[in-house]
Amino acid sequence: MSLLPAVRSRDEADLYLELHPCLRCGSMEGAWGEAPTAQGARPAYRYTGRCADCGETREFVFALPDGRVAPAAAGPHPTTRFGGPEPSALLDPGEWLLVADWCAEASDVAERQGDDAEAAELRWTAVAAVEEICKFLPEAADAVPESAFWSARGRGVYQREPGRFRRRRLVVVRDHHLNHMPWSPS
């Protein structure tokens, strides 16, 4: 198993695991165990589990940022749940946009079903995902550069709608999610 890029938080690792289904059957379900490890002198964190559908053993080993012995726990505010100020090395901006879209859609469904707590949690995750995209914006740039997209899935999202990665549009989408919270958690 090769070492994946550095994981900034447990939430980011969990999201990565959810976005990478079982290669044998395509299921995304499974229980994961986690433990510190190393790849040579580099501290790392290993996630192992079995696919809930076919029983395939799965393993991912993430590098850790310098000086850490485990991925950071979730932060107190939704915008800190996936990582610090640096952009993700695991998910590119296109993948973050997919997460934001999926969470916003699921939030709408949960709200229609009367589950405001679930709807709010999903909406906060959509906000956090949009803010992760913004971390890929160069300081003076109007849009996320095409070179920031490295995954096939992320590049596909960018190629279909590159305008969704413009700074102004990202701010509007983030603000829309913030203004459509079913309730605000305290």
What sign results for the dihedral spanned by CA atoms 116, 93, 32, 41? negative
Question: What are the residue boundaries of the structural domains of the chain, listed by start?
Answer: 3-63, 91-179
Q: Phi and psi of 130, rounded to 5°?
A: -65, -40
CATH number of the structural domain 3-63: 2.20.25
How sure is the predictor about 91, in pLDDT bands with cuts at 50, 70 and 90?
very high
Please say if the pLDDT value at position 69 is more than 80. no
pTM for this prediction? 0.89
How sure is the predictor about 186, in pLDDT bands with cuts at 50, 70 and 90?
very low
- Comparing 6-15, 100-109, 135-144, the range with the smallest average pLDDT is 6-15
Q: Read off the amino acid at residue 3.
A: L
Give the rounded distance of the alpha carbon of 26 from its chain centre.
Answer: 19
